[in-house]
Structure formats: C-alpha cells, structure tokens
Structure 1
Amino acid sequence: MNHFMKKLISGIVGKKGRWITLIVWVLLIGVLQMVLPSSSTYTDDSVEPLPSSEPSMKAANIVEEKFPNSDGVPAGVPALLTWYNKDGISEKELTAIASLSKELNENKLSHQEMAVPYDKIPMPALKELVSEDGTTFIQTVLFEKGASSDELKEGLTELETRVDREFEGNPLNEKITSNSLVARVTGPAGISVDATGLFKNADVSLLIGTVLLVLVFLLLIYRSPILPFVPLIAVGAAYAVATPILGALAKAGYISYDSQGISIMTVLLFGAGTDYCLFLISRFRLFLYEEESCLKALKRAFLDTSGAIGVSGLTVVSALLALLVSQYATIHNFAIPFSLSIFIMMISSLTLVPALLSILGRSAFFPFVPRTEDMEKERAQKENKKVKLHKQSRFWYKVGAYSANKPVRTVIITLLFLIVSSTFVTGIKYSYDTLSAFPKDTPSREGFDLISDGFGAGDLAPLTVVFEQNDENENIKNDLARLDGISRVENPETSQSDQNFVSYKVELEQNPYSNEAMDDVEQLRKDLKELSDDKGFENVWVSGQTAEQLDQRTVIAHDETKIISFVIVVVALLLLLYLRSIVAMGYLIATVLISFTSALGLGWVILHYGFDVGAISGLIPIYAFVFIVALGEDYNIFMISNIWEKKKELPLKEAIKEGVGQSGGVITSAGIILAGTFAVLTTLPIQVLVQFGLITAIGVLLDTFIVRPLLVPAITSLLGKWAFWPSKLGKVKAREEN
C-alpha cells in the first residue's frame, strides 16, 4: 500500500504529472458543465416526505379516490387568498372579490384548476362567509394536483397581476397594519412557493457568505494572498464536478433532492473540504522547514496525511450514506448529494491540491515563505541581514503535555462540563410545523395568522374523517362532536362512487400545526377506532395536515433510532480497521456522542433562552448527529493517527504531547473554519437552517477545543497500553521516559 501511495504521489506532483492532473480536472469540469444539466434545474421541493404506507397517506388516497369532488371542488393544490381589513371588509370590497372570482374562472391562471365562484353567491350569503369580527374573508383558488413549486409560482405571479388590475393599489403589497384592504396567499400553494423562494434565495447568499468567510479565515491563518485560493479552487472544482452529476442523476430519476439539501451541501463542501486541504497544506509547510526540495517535502506531507484524509473522508461519506435508511424523504434525499460531494472533495484534496502546491512550491506561502535553516542562513548572508529561524508555536505541545500528565483531572473537568451541557437535552421541545420555520413577515405565514385570528386556526387545516359503513349509513355527527379535541364537525358527505363511504370535515380545538394538536389526533385515532368498532363499521381513516404531521413525528423518531445506530456501527468499523484497536474505537465513539448531546443541549439553551425559540425542528437531532459525529471523528482520526505514529518511537505520554502539538494548530484552524461555515446558516431567514447551523457549529467547536485536545488524549494516557488493545502497537518498546 505504501509503495502504491509513493507511486501515486510521484505521478501527481511530478514535473509532467502536476500539469496533467490540473488539465484532467479542467477538462472534467468543462465537459460535465457542458454535457450534464445543472443540479438547480432539477431541484424538487414538492416531494411528499412521508411513505405511502403511513395512515395519513392511506387516508389521503381514500379521500382522493372516494371523494374526488368533495363539496363540488375537484382535487388539487389550494391557494387561500386571504383578504383582511382591520376596519371591516366592505360590500364594495366583497363585490370586487366576487368580480375577481369571475375573472379567474373565465380566464384561468397558469396551472389553475378552478376558483370558487363567489360571483354566483348572493351578497347576503357572501357576507355570511366573512369572519365573525367582519375583518377576514378567504377566497379559494385551486391549482392542478401535482403542480411543481415553480408552476405554482407562475400561477400566483399571474394572480398578483389580476389583483393589481382589479383593486385600487395592490392589496398583496400592503402591510398588515395598513388602513386599506390587505391580501395574502397562504394554504399549501402559498406555503410551497414561499418555502422554495426562501431556499433559493438562501442558496446564493449562502454560497457568497461561505466563500468570503473561508477566504478571510485562510488569509488570517496563513497571512498569504496566494495560499487561500488553493483550498477554494479545490472545493470549487469538487462543487463544479458534483453538481452536474447530481443534475444528471435527478434528471434520470435515480435521485431526488430539494433546495434545502443543496444549501446544506454547499456548507458541508466548503467546511469539510477546506479541512482536508488544510491537513495536507499544514504538513507540507512543516516539512518545508526540514527539506530543501519542495517535491520531497510535498511527498512526505502526502504520505503522512493521505491515510488520515482518506479514512476521514470515507467516515463522513459512510455516515451520510446512512441517511438512505430513512423512510422520511427529506432526510433520505440528502444521502446521495452529501456523500457524493464529500467523496469528490476527498479525491480533489488528494490530487488537485498536491498538483497545485507542486506548481506553486514555496511561493504559495508568500510573503512568509518557509525555508530550511541552511536556506535561511544563505538568504540572510546574501541580503546581509540577521538570520530569522522558524520558531514553532509550543502552545498545543503544552496542552498535549497537560492532558498526558494530568489525565484524571482533565477527564473529570471536561466530562463534567459536557455532561452538564447534555442534561439540557431533556428540556428540548420539537416542532413539525413548516410555517414556524418561516420569518414572521413571510406572506403565507401572515395569511395563516390572519385566518387564525379571524376564523380560528382549525379552519385553515381541518381534518377529514372517512368511515366505511355498512349498507345503511348512519349520521354520527353528534358522536364525533363529543370527542376530545374537536371544536366543530360539518354535515356528512356520502361518496358518489361508493355509498358505504361517508366523510366528515372536522376542526380541531388546537392550532392544527401545534404539538398539542398532534397529541389530540393521536388520541382521536384511538377514539375513532373504538367508535367505528362500536357502530360496526368496516374501517375509519383520518386525513389532513395534523394527521400528516403526527405521522412525520412517528417516522422521524423511528428514523432517528435507525440512523444513529447505523452511523455508530459504520464509523466504529472504519475506526477499527484504521486503528486496529477495539478500546480506542470505543472511547472515540463515546467522546463524539457526548459532544453531540452537549451541543444539542447548549444549542437549545441559546435558542430557547437567548432568542425565545419555543421549539426546534424535529429534524435537527438527526441532521446534527450525522454531521457532528462524522466531522468530529475527522479531527479525532487526524489527531490520534499522529499519536499512533509517534508511539512507534516514543513513550506514550511523549507521543501524546507530540501528537497533540503537531496536529493542534491545523485542527484548530480547520475547526474554526468548519464551525464558521455552519454558523453562516444562522444568518438565513429559515429557522430550521438557523437551528441546524448553530447546533452543529457548537458541536464542532466543542470537539475542536475540548474533546480532541483534552478529553481524548487524557483518556488515551489514562488507559496506557490498553488504549491500543488488541493492536501490537501497545507492546512496542519505546525508549524509557525521563
């Protein structure tokens, strides 16, 4: 293997090989960009996240099959055009709304199915549809079932033009506090368009912010105007190769992904990709102080770091592929984009980066060029200047020595902090409400608030309860109304295709998007099953937004157990293969697990008490776990591989000191950059990304400054030779400690 790696690096960084490597990458990028489609072209934000086997999905299919024209309205995606006037909606305004309905039915919008014909409803009856306080009116416009977010946006853009033409001023642009008529589009269509818009806008700002942040950090670390562009070029190349491949796979129907996934992939690529580059660059810089030949220094750096980079990359790739076991489509669809991008980045860091460094040589570090002692003396003599020899920082060597010599104290202090932080996890509340992730001034969220205030939240997302009865249908409206959690029940509707199927529209007492409503529906399903059995009915189904959210909560909880177990097993196997130590594998896994729970706890404290966040997204634990564990092991692998290497020649405590000292600076730099890139997510207007970015950044910082330099070395020192068991490395006879 070592012989193969020597031949590989010689081919990559040789006088001809470096240019061939560079040309291959340029040609690869050019061909893929020209031949394959862009990943953004096939972003799909309308994928149904729940599997068809879930109760709410089965219920939705029954409703669609048996009640395709419920209340005379065909199946489709509703946009709820919500009208509001704080002084009360006037008859003149209702007449204009009715006129708009007529216009929409005579000249349909793009992808429009129909609009409720309010123009055919007499004015007295129309007034009855206004909220009790007289301020709010809901106008339903139905779009084609299966319409994409872009198609819905096209229709809603045309709707805005019609509203602007029909009304004085444009109510859609009026502020909620305005004294004039205000309009907002909410419901499934409005929410879908707003979600896509937020993520698309986030994608561009995220890319710019991440690149600038990485550039600034690299300039501060290396104080060179040239070197920062080496990692950026490598990451950019990986991005340019990965995105068209993803586009091609999506076009062929092999994978699916949404805007959120592409946004997170960008952060992951720049954060983790820069880390891999830094591992190689830092070692190259170190060896340039020892070797006059740049080529020899680069080969040594590659051989010294390629194993750790390869194992680190495969660890992250494997952990991300574990997302494929998820039944929840949003999580499942992250697996291929994330793992593919990291795999390509790993290849870039092991081929393109060495080639670029070979071309640039020592000048990459200009103006602080690393030279050997003899080279520095020769230069000083020629320029008639005083010799300035390189002095390596001893800070991390001191940290390593402290961890090695005071292991009990170090373990107790660090574990105490991490355990206390982890206890806050028990107080976390989770949300499965899409709207709560939107900024408060998002149109669909403002529209939802208007409906909630005017009609009650339950009116926005009622449940549909369907019973399969016997030959003689029985009206059980009063029985349903007596069940806990229900505020109103509409009259029953019998299916035209099968008289045994009867449906009831049911409104909940609680906000249908809330955790309380989900708990009510969970109990309601049991109560409805009992009611159905008592009446001798065949079956009962419950469909609607709250029922779907309840199933989401259940599926995500199951996924969480599967993914966490799978990731732990995969990472453990890779560590075992690389380190050949069961004991080391065990405590390395344990340390990143407590790092994860600590980050989750601290993140909740900051979000809840610092920013008044009542609940975090139910997806956060899975997202944060995969990234914190996978990326945390990156740093552990790089640091522990140094200790393992030093242990071949030095006593354990000395090996720990040298291992931590040699890897400390680069891992700290890498950790700060990685945490910074995830922190960029907190600047976005999407709460789920803010929460994910903050918690993951905290996890990376904990691993960088507590787990990796203190806890892991201290445990290694405490265990002594048993840290290597059953590897023979623990039996290697090093020189006696002083």
Structure 2
Amino acid sequence: MEHLLERLGRWFAGSKTKWITVAVWIVLVGALSAIWPGVNEKEDNNAANLEASMPSIQAQQLAEQEFPSDSGIPALLVWQRNTGLTEQDFGSLQQLAAWLTDHPLTGQEGVPPFHQMPLPVLQKLASEDGTAFVLPLFFSKEADTDTLEAGMKQIRERSAEIFGADPFAVSIGDREDLSARVSGPAGISINAVGLFSSADVSLLIATVLLVLVLLLLIYRSPILAMIPLIGVGFAYGAASPILGKMADMGWITVDSQGISIMTVLLFGAGTDYCLFMISRFRQVLGVERDKTKALVRTFKDSAGAVAMSGFTVVIALLALLFAKYGAVHRFAVPFSLSILIMGAASLTLVPALLAIFGRGSFYPFVPRTPEMIAERARKKGKPVPAISPAAAKQQGGLIGRAVTRRPCLIIAITVIFLGACALNATRIKYTVDLLSTFPESSPSREGFAVIGDKFTPGELAPIKLMVNTEGKDVPLKETFSALAYVSKVSEAAEGSGNPDIKAIDIELNLNPYSNEAMALLPELRETAERMLRTAGITAPEEQVWISGQTATQYDTELTNQRDTALIIPIVIGLIALLLLLYLRSVVAMLYLVLTVVLSYFSALGLGWFVIHDLMGTAAIQGLIPLYAFAFLVALGEDYNIFMISSIWRKSRTMPLKQAIRDGVTETGGVITSAGLILAGTFAVLATLPIQALVQFGIISAIGILLDTFIVRPFLVPSITMVLGRFSFWPGRGPKRKRAEQAEPYSAS
C-alpha cells in the first residue's frame, strides 16, 4: 500500500503529470456542465414523503376516489379588517368568487359559490366579531408549487383591481385597511419552497465568504486560502451535473432543502480534507528541501487517512437509503456522491495544485528547512539563527503533555461534562409541524394566526374521517360532535362510488398541526371503531380511514421513529466495521465509536439548552436527531481517524507515550482549523429564516466544536494513553522501524 501511495504521489507531483491532472478536472467539469443539467434545475419540492402503504395515504386515495369534490389542495384566502368587514368588502369578495368561477386558474378544481349567496347569508360566514372571512379555493393534487404560486399571483393582481388596492401588501395589524393572506396547505407549500429557494444563493455566498475569511485568518496566505475553495468548486462542478442527470433519468429525487444542506456539507467537509493534506505538506516542507519529495511523502502519509475519512462519511450517509421517509431517503445519494467526488478532488486535484505552487502556496509565510533558513540569512548578510536539536524536536505541546501526564483525570472531567450535556437531551421535545418552522412574518403563518384567533384553528386543516357502514345507520355526526376537543363536524357525505362509505369533516378546537392534535388520532379511530362495532359491523378496524394534515403528520412521526431506530445502529455498525478494517484493532474501534456517540448526545443536550432555554423554541423538528447523527458521527470520526493515524504512524519510530504526545501536537492545529471551518459552515444555517435549518445548524456546529476541542484533543488520546499497547488489540501495533529510518519531527 505504501508503495502504491508513493507512486500516486509521484504522479501528482510530476513536472508534466500535475498539469495533466488539472487539465483532466477542467475538461471533466466543463464537459459534464455542458451536456447534463445542473442539480438545481431538477428540483422536485412536491415529492411524496410517505409511502403509499401508510394509513393516511390510503385514506387520502379513498377520499379522492369517493369524494372528489372535497379532494385537492386547499388554499385558504384569509381576509381581515380590524374595524370590521364592510358591505363593500363582501361585495368585492363576491366579485372575486365570480371571477374565479368564470376564469378558473390553472389546476383549480373548485371554489364555493359565494357570488350566488345573498349578502346577509355571506356575512354570517364571517367571524363572530365580523372582522375576518375565509375564502377556500381548491387545487388539484397534481398541481405543483409553481402552479400554486402562479395562481396566487393572479389572485393578488385581480384583488388589487377589485378592491382598488393590494390587500396582500397590507400589514396584518393595520387597523383601517383590508388585509389578505394565503394560508392552508397551498400557502404553506408556497412559503416552504420560497424560503428554501431564496436561501440557496444567500447560503452559498455566505458559506464561501466564511470559509475564505477563516482560511485567511488561520493561515494568512491568499494562495493557500484559494486552493481548498478551488477543490470544492471543481467537486461541486462535477457533482451538480451528475446528480442533475440522475434526477433527469428518474433515478433519484432532489429538493431545495437537500441541495442547501449539500452545499454546506461540501464546503465544510471538503475544506477539511484539503487542509489535512495541506497541513502535512507544510510540516514536511520544514524538514525536506525538495518540494517534490515533500509532496510525495505528504501524499504517502496523508492519503490513507483522507480517503478513510471521506469513505466513512460516504458510507454513513448512504445508510440514509434505508429510510422510509422521503425527505431523509432523498438525502442519501446527493450527499454521499458529493463527498465521494470531493474526496477524489482532495486526493488528486489538490496535490496537483500544491505541486504547481510549491512553497509559494504558503506565501508570505513560506515554510523552510533549517538549512534553507541559514542560507537565506547568509545571503542577506544577517546572523544565522541558532537552532538547537532540542528546540527543533520539541516534546509536544501543552495539550500533548497534559494527556500523557494526567490521562485519568482528563477522562473523568471530559466524560462528566459530556455526560451532563447528554443527560439534558432527555428533556427534548419534538414536533413535525412544518408551519412552526416558518418565520412569524410568513403569510401562511400570519393567515393561520387570524384563523386561530377569529375562528377555530381546526378550520385550517380539517380531519376527514370515513367509515364503511355496510348499509347500516350509524350516528356519525352525533358521535364525534360529542367529543370535547371537536369544535365542528360536517354533515355526513355519501361516497360517489360506494354509497355505504360515509365521511365527515372534523374541525378540532386546537392547532391541527400540533403534537396534541396528532395524539388524538388513535382516540378518533378507536371512537369510530367502537361506533361501528355497536352497529353490528364486523372487523370495524378495517372499515375506518382518516385523512388530512393531522393524520399525515401522525404517520410522519411514526415513520421518523422507525427510521431513527433502524438507521442509527446501521451507521454505527458500518463505521465500526470501517474503523476495524483500517486500524485492525477492536479496542480502538470501540472507544473511537463510543466517544463520538457520546459527543453526539452531548451536542443534542447542549443544542437543546441553546434552542429551548436561550432562544425560547418549544420543540425541535423530529427529523433533526437523525440528520445530526448521520453527520456528526461520520464527521466527528474524521478527526479521530486523522489524529489516530498520526499516533499510529509515529508509534513505529518512538515509544507510544511520545507518539501520543507528538501526534496530538502535530494534528492539533489542522484539526482545530478544520473544526472551526466546518462548525462555521453549519452555523451559517442558523442565519436562515427556516427554523428547521437553524436548529440543525446549531446542533451540528455544537457537535463539531465538541469533537474539535474536547473529544479529539483530550478524551481520545487520554484513553489511548491509559490503554497503552492494548489499544492495538488484538494486534500488537505497528512494527517499530529502525531508528535511522525514523522521520524527523517538525512541531506544527
């Protein structure tokens, strides 16, 4: 393996082959971008998240079949005038309803005939205080977000003509003027896509600027700062058309949320892989005069750890393919493929660029050997600096000395701290309410607030309950009207294909998107089954169907729980297997995995403290723990792999204690830099207006910082020190080389 790595290193460092490598990447990215569409062009933000076998989806299909007039995507046009709606307002609303009837929008399926109602009857449909009115509009299930948004734009333009001003531009709190908002599933869908779409460009710009600024601050070299960004740029340039083509062929589905997170992951993790090699190159240049030999040695020392780190992340993210929830399943291929391509760029393009720029990569702080420093001083007529062997070969930094002198104390302190943070994770409350992740100023959320205040919140998303009566009379409306948490029940409707199927719409007196509403689903089903059983219907559990947003969220929560319980053990198992194959040590594999898992739960607990106790958020999105686990465990293991590889390599030429001390010191700078950059890129998500991404960004950034500043420099080397050579069990550790083969040490 070392011979193969040396040959590859010579290829990338060769006088001609380094240019060939760069040219291949330019041609590859250029050709792919020219012939295949970019991934952003193939977004599908309306892809289903639940499988067809889920109860809510089956109920939805039955509703579309038996009650087609009630099916579709509802858009609730919420109108409000704080001083009270006027007769002129109601007359204008009738004009709008008439226009929608005569000029149906693309995808429109139905609108209530408000224009045919006498004005006094219409006024009775307003809120009790007469200040608010809801005009429902239904679109077909096939209508995508672009169609919905185009329809709402037409309504807004027509409303401005009818009302004489644009009510959608009026502040909801205005006391005099009429205001309007679009809420309901259609409004929520439009806002969700709009928020993610608007976040793409700003997220990319913010991420690039942050990485560039951090690289300049840490390494103070403009050329060096650009090399990782060039590598990431080429990797994205190759990944985007490949993913776009896969989406075009129907092999995968991508959405704007996934692309946003993929961008952050690519810049954060990609920069890390580049820095792992760049930092080693700088170290070797301090002891090797020939830049070609230095790069070959750098590649031989670092390529294995970089490849293993990247492959760990790829495998962990591919495990998301086992998810049944669509939004999670769709992440697997884009994330893993982009990291795979980034790993390839780190091992090919970046070494070639380092070979081209050589020592100039680090200008103005160019690393030189002691001999080169002395020659430079003599040429300038300055005194030659005295470099003592003791100074040139330091015995490790402060942290390196601490973990080898007081390992048990450090283990105790770090485990107590991480354990206390992890314990706080037991307090976390979760939600699958999409609306709560929007900013309070989002139109759909403002409209929902008006409905909840002036009407009943359940009107926003009624629950449709259907039963097969088998021709028997059942007190459907009476049974559910008696429930304390139900505010309104519609008259029972008869199925168009099967008249034995009856349906009612149930409006709850609480937020239909809340956890409390979802918790009522089993009771609603049980009530329906008991009613059917009393009527003498056999197998009532097979004759009840519940659809609607509340039922969909209930199935979403169950699917999330299933995915989390399945994927977390798979990720742990795959990473453990890779570590075992790479390190050939059961003991090292065990404590490396356990420390990162402990760090993950600590990040959840500390993240909950920030999100809940400091920011006042009541609950976090239910998908975030699974997302964070896949990222944090894989990325956290990257740092462990890079550091432990250094310790393993040094233990070939020195006692293990010194190898730990020097390994911690050697990798400390680069891992700290990489961790700050990776945490910073995830923290960029916290600047977006989407609460789900804010929460994910905060927890991920905290987890990376814990790995960077606690687990990697303190906990892992301290455990290695306590276990000693037992860390290599069942092996005996790397074979010791002869002293004359030992590599010179260069403190970073």
TM-score normalised by L of structure 1 = 0.97
- Give the letter for the 1:406 counterpart: R
Matched, 1:525 2:521: no
Give the Cα–Cα distance (whole angstroms) in 2 for the partners of residues 296 and 641 of structure 1.
21
Contact 2:232 2:266 in 1 (8 A): yes
Secondary structure of the 1:249 match is helix
Question: Partner of 2:181: helix, strand, or coil?
Answer: strand
Q: 1:647 touches 1:734 (CA, 8 Å); kept in 2? A: no
Whichever residue aligns with residue 101 of structure 1, its letter is A
Describe the SS at the equivalent of 1:141.
strand
Aligned match for 1:575, one of 567, 572, 579: 579
Determine the structure 2 residue equivalent to 1:195. Answer: 192
**SS in structure 1 of the partner of residue 250 of structure 2:** coil
**Structure 2 match to 1:230:** 227
Match of 1:543 among 520, 543, 547: 547
Match of 1:702 in 2: 706
Match of 1:116 among 88, 112, 117: 112
The aligned runs of 1:293-442 (5 Å cut-off) are 293-387=290-384, 397-442=397-442
Aligned with 2:688 (options 684, 687, 692): 684
Match of 2:665 in 1: 661
- Is the partner of 1:728 in helix, strand or coil? coil
Deviation, structure 1 residue 437: 0.5
Structure 2 letter corresponding to 1:242 = A
For 1:195, give the aligned amino acid.
A
Q: What SS does the corresponding residue of 2:733 show, helix, strand or coil?
A: helix
- Secondary structure of the residue that 1:506 maps to in structure 2? strand
1:670 equivalent among 665, 674, 681:
674
Aligned residue in 1 for 2:51: 51
Bigger mean CA offset, 534-543 vs 453-462 = 534-543
Determine if contact 1:650/1:734 at 8 Å carries over to the other structure.
no
For 2:159 and 2:487, the matched residues in 1 are separated by 34
- Partner letter of residue 145 of structure 2? S
Secondary structure of the 1:69 match is helix
C-alpha distance in 2, partners of 1:123/1:392? 92
Q: Which residue of 1 aligns with 2:643?
A: 639
Cα RMSD after superposing both structures = 1.7
Retained in 2: the 8 A contact 1:466–1:542?
yes
Query: Contact 1:483–1:527 at 8 Å: present in 2 too?
Result: no
Spell out the pairing of 1:20-419 with structure 2 (5 A cutoff).
Answer: 20-70=20-70, 75-178=71-174, 179-387=176-384, 397-419=397-419
- The alignment of Structure 1 onto Structure 2 pairs a total of residues equal to 731
- Kindly provide the CA deviation profile for residues 164-184 of structure 1, in whole angstroms up to 9, marking residues without a partner as x: 111122000000111200000
Q: In the TM superposition, what whole-angstrom CA distance separates every residue of 1:104-128 from its partner, at most 9, and x where no partner exists?
A: 2222333333332211111111111
Output the CA distance in 2 between the equivalents of 1:650 and 1:395.
Answer: 12
Kindly provide the amino acid, as one letter, of the partner of residue 124 in structure 2.
Answer: E
Deviations for 1:306-348, whole angstroms, at most 9, x for unmatched residues? 0000110000000000100000000000001100000000000
The Cα shift of 1:144 comes to 2.7
The answer for unaligned runs of 5 or more in structure 1 is: none
Within 1, Cα distance between the matches of 2:343 and 2:243?
A: 17
Any gaps of 5 or more consecutive residues in structure 2? 740-748
- 3-state SS of 1:9 partner: helix
Deviates more, 1:627-636 or 1:34-43: 34-43
Cα distance in 2, alignment partners of residues 404 and 531 from structure 1 = 71
Opposite residue 283 of structure 2, the aligned amino acid is L
CA distance in 2, matches of 1:51, 1:653: 54
Conservation of the 8 A alpha-carbon contact between 1:483 and 1:524: no
User: How many Å separate the matches in 1 of 2:454 and 2:253?
Assistant: 39
Alpha-carbon distance between aligned partners in 2 of 1:351 and 1:536, rounded to the nearest angstrom: 73
Match of 2:150, as an amino acid?
E
Report how far residue 386 of structure 1 moved: 4.1
Contact 2:81–2:132 (Cα < 8 Å) also in 1: yes
> Residue 744 of structure 2 aligns with which residue?
none
Q: Distance in 1 between matches of 2:288 and 2:735?
A: 32
| Deviation of the 1:554 alpha carbon | 0.7
1:4-23 aligned at under 5 Å gives the runs 4-23=4-23
Asked if the contact 1:398–1:657 (Cα under 8 Å) also holds between the matched residues in 2, the reply is: no
Instruction: Please state how far the C-alpha of 1:396 moved relative to its aligned partner.
Output: 6.4
Number of the residue aligned with 1:447: 447
Report if the CA contact (8 A) 2:94-2:115 is conserved: yes
Instruction: Confirm or deny: 8 A CA contact 1:465 1:541 kept in the other structure.
Output: yes
Q: Aligned partners of 1:287, 1:281: CA distance in 2, in Å?
A: 10
TM-superposed CA distance for 1:363, in Å, is 0.8
Q: 1:511 aligns to what?
A: 511
- Mapping 1:478-627, distance limit 5 Å: 478-483=478-483, 485-537=485-537, 538=540, 539-627=543-631
The one-letter amino acid paired with 2:72 is: G
Deviates more, 1:392-401 or 1:470-479: 392-401
For the residues of structure 2 that align with 1:635 and 1:472, how far apart are their CA atoms? 67
Q: What CA distance in whole angstroms lies between the structure 1 residues aligned with 2:8 and 2:118?
A: 82
What one-letter code is carried by the residue in structure 2 that aligns with 1:79? A
Q: Is the 8 A contact 1:592 1:633 kept in 2?
A: yes
Task: Determine if contact 1:401/1:654 at 8 Å carries over to the other structure.
Answer: no
Matched-pair identity in %: 50
* Counterpart amino acid of residue 333 in structure 1: R
Q: CA offsets per residue over residues 544-591 of structure 1, 9 Å max, x none?
A: 111111111111011001110110000000000000001110111100
Give the partner amino acid of 1:111.
G
Deviations 1:692-713 (CA, angstroms, capped at 9, x unpaired): 0000000000000000010001
Cα distance change on mapping 1:733 and 1:386 into 2, 3 Å: closer
- Residue 520 of structure 2 aligns to a residue whose secondary structure is helix
In 2: Cα distance, 1:322 partner to 1:388 partner? 55
CA distance in 1, matches of 2:415, 2:288: 41
Going from structure 1 to structure 2, the CA distance change for 1:452 and 1:384 (only over 3 Å counts) comes to: same
Deviation per CA, 1:493-538, whole angstroms, max 9, x where unpaired?
1112111100011112321111111111233223322333232335
Is this contact kept in 2: 1:418–1:598, CA < 8 A? yes
CA distance in 2, matches of 1:487, 1:141: 22
For residues 602 and 335 of structure 1, the distance between their equivalents in structure 2, rounded to whole angstroms, comes to: 27
Q: Is the 8 A contact 1:44 1:258 kept in 2?
A: yes
The structural deviation recorded for 1:730 is 7.3
The CA deviation at 1:387 is: 4.3
Verify: 1:630 aligned to 2:626, yes or no. no
CA distance in 1, matches of 2:217, 2:230: 18
Offset, 1:488: 2.3
**Matched residues in 1 for 2:49 and 2:396: separation?**
47
- CA distance in 2 between counterparts of 1:312 and 1:610 reads 34
TM-score (norm 2): 0.95
Kindly indicate whether the alpha-carbon contact (under 8 Å) linking 1:373 and 1:389 is maintained by their aligned counterparts in 2: no
Check whether the contact 1:674–1:697 (CA below 8 A) recurs between aligned residues: yes
